[in-house]
Chains A and B, each alone.
Chain A
């Protein structure tokens, strides 16, 4: 089955919540809605679920128009940020509740609950009530209930946001396996780029009620079509610098001119903005063909495995992530370098014109480079 939003707009009290979103979700896929708070992720989910009606546009299930059809007549399950379970029922009864509502025979209920409990590692807790469980176990119960329902569409609205960091990490590692086993359409909302990367699948990049870019998660990450997508899909935040290309050299705003090598070589003359993620910015260590910047350290954050160096240069704030421990004094000037083959170049309209593996002004953004395909095979 498939669910489609066809040019859906939703306006509440004159304020647009969703603006002209079109997307199609297929069975057996995991779809991540990635965007900051209030970007419209929950609104999209409510539209998909049938809890809200679009102001204009259509909602189609298997190409049949279901706009305005009541949520109870749709096959939908939802998991929220808050752990929502029936407090007086045991974990077993909690998981079984949707099946009881459907009036399934006893044996089938037992079988399906056992299966869901195994998948979510809840077997030891089936006799407890939710209040006797940790947050992670409670949320797993809620997810098990959503799965056991056998709904065609499962919506998860920041399901891990209220969990401890480590629990989040563990559950996140298990989720793709659980999704694969189910075969339903999964929609997963998150504000965290790293979470989207770990979950894989497809990503819908949301911003102010618009779906900016839809595609395979790794592709959206590596080929953000616009500056905004790159910003939404970067953690630490995307670093930016303006450039001017002229006569075979690039002039970085507020400083250095460098030969227009790497991705810059194919750009037409003119002004651009260059975006690069924290790990794309390095320290000078004598490698050839790097563009160097004098930047002042504002703060260094050390996690033990990595160092986040916050820099300021010509009024711009940058973050560099370096491997290992690097201690810098605030106010110290360091030489940061950029690989001209490893940046994103955006034109005056903030559209991507060059990226690793994508030379300027090729007619279309290809579906994925060879390297990406290779990494997909591995995972």
Chain B
């Protein structure tokens, strides 16, 4: 929409522009600078060109091996939590009440996990899962299940995934709930009258009307889980061994543990790039879906927010002239 232009608006944007330049562009340039060099401490730097990047993408090197392995873990983690949280969120949203005071109660309860800081969530689960004093760990062991996230890689994964599901399913559920709330009552009544089963209502009405918020939910959850750091770091510290070492944890190990600034800089740039690309893919998919939506919305009657009738009146006219 080309609204009327007011040049003064630029002044309002200026402060943000300056802050972003200072906080994002300058540090980024520093990182780019580091990624091209090697250092042995003492503030001595050597030019390394794209060496780090080559190494990073070559699985036979130490750096590349670690990076690709952790990237694989990251992707696996994201896929698993999406596969759990999205259906679970939908189910939760569907089973939430639609009227009355229980709505508010449900919303508050759902929102609680979202309000807890990451490291606290990590700490909660770290203690929760401990076989000696944690409620979960102790109970499981008492039931005869050998569970120990410190020594067993599978247990560690289960813990990390359960923690993420606990923390974030609410978000998916809330988004889905918002989507469901926007469906007019007439649709449900019509479906009832059409004799639709619960499953048919879900498939024919609820899912199609939710698909936009679901897309947003998937995007948000993917980005977030791909950048995960605090919780698994607090719970497992990336272990046992390297089994729960995600890219972000690897990055911190290299940068702050080994103080390999060049490698770390290169890794973080590639990491960043991956996130940007994924973001862009999602964005494109979403806006395309958006365009489709809009096209639909425009055909909704009531208001006349639409192209000055190229198609519709023409069709209407044809209908008339067909008889005329």
Residues of A near any B CB (own CB < 8 A) = 12-13, 15-19, 36-43, 50-53, 55, 68-71, 81, 207-209, 231, 237, 240, 315-317
Contacts and interface: CB of A to CB of B under 8 A. Distances in A.
Interface stretch (B62-70, B100-108, B258-266, B299-307): B299-307
Contact of B309 (A36, A231, A316): A36
Interface stretch (B72-80, B175-183, B240-248, B310-318): B310-318
A38 B306 contact: yes
Interface stretch (B2-10, B11-19, B24-32, B274-282): B2-10
A302 to B, nearest CB: 22
Contacts of A17: 307-308
16 contacts: A15-B310, A16-B307, A16-B308, A37-B313, A38-B304, A38-B313, A39-B308, A40-B309, A42-B305, A52-B2, A53-B2, A81-B302, A207-B313, A208-B308, A208-B310, A231-B320
Nearest to A210: B308
B324 interface: yes
Residue of B6, B308, B310, B320 most packed against chain A (CB within 10 A): B308
Nearest to B291: A13
B1 interface: yes
Q: Which 8 A-B pairs have the closest CB atoms?
A: A38-B309, A209-B308, A40-B308, A15-B307, A17-B308, A317-B323, A240-B324, A42-B304
A215 B317 CA distance: 24
A52 B3 contact: yes
Given A52-B4, A209-B308, 20 more contacts: A12-B307, A16-B310, A17-B308, A18-B308, A36-B316, A37-B301, A37-B312, A37-B313, A38-B304, A38-B306, A38-B309, A38-B313, A39-B304, A39-B309, A41-B304, A43-B308, A52-B3, A53-B4, A71-B4, A231-B320
Contact of B307 (A38, A52, A231): A38
A50 B302 CA distance: 23
B4 A38 contact: no
Contacts of A68: 4-5
Contacts of B6: 70
Contacts of A37: 301, 304, 309, 312-313
A112 B146 CA distance: 81
Given A53-B4, A70-B4, A81-B303, A315 B309 contact: no
Contacts of B5: 53, 68
A78 to B, nearest CB: 14
A203 to B, nearest CB: 18
Contacts of A209: 308-309
Interface string B206-246: 00000000000000000000000000000000000000000
A135 B1 CA distance: 32
A278 B282 CA distance: 56
Given A42-B304, A317-B324, A69 B309 contact: no
Nearest to A208: B309
Contacts of A40: 308-309
